[in-house]
């Protein structure tokens, strides 16, 4: 799953929030801030678990305000063995 999250999502702990949720759900991949002000997430795992993670991302941490998410479902690369902040 590849997601771009826009809104008030930088400077509010969004990457750490995403990492904690992903690790709790046993997902692999990464999260990073983009120069556009968005947060980008790439996560791999079971589809139903990824959908739960996506719901978490749409809510975001308490100080964030998610305005939009753009999600692409892709084939898993299976090259990640953990979830990290980039």
- Indicate which residues carry an active-site annotation: 15, 33
Cα–Cα dist 83/30, whole Å: 5
- For the CA atoms of 44, 46, 49, 53, the dihedral, rounded to the nearest 10 degrees, stands at 20
Q: How far apart are CA 81 and CA 67, in angstroms?
A: 30
């Amino acid at each position: 799953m590849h997601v771009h999250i826009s809104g008030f999502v930088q400077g509010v702990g969004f990457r750490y929030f995403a990492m904690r949720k992903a690790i709790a759900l046993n997902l692999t991949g990464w999260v990073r801030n983009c120069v556009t002000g968005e947060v980008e997430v790439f996560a791999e795992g079971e589809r139903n678990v990824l959908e739960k993670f996506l719901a978490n991302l749409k809510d975001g941490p308490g100080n964030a305000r998610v305005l939009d998410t753009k999600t692409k479902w892709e084939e898993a690369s299976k090259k990640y063995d953990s979830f990290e902040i980039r």
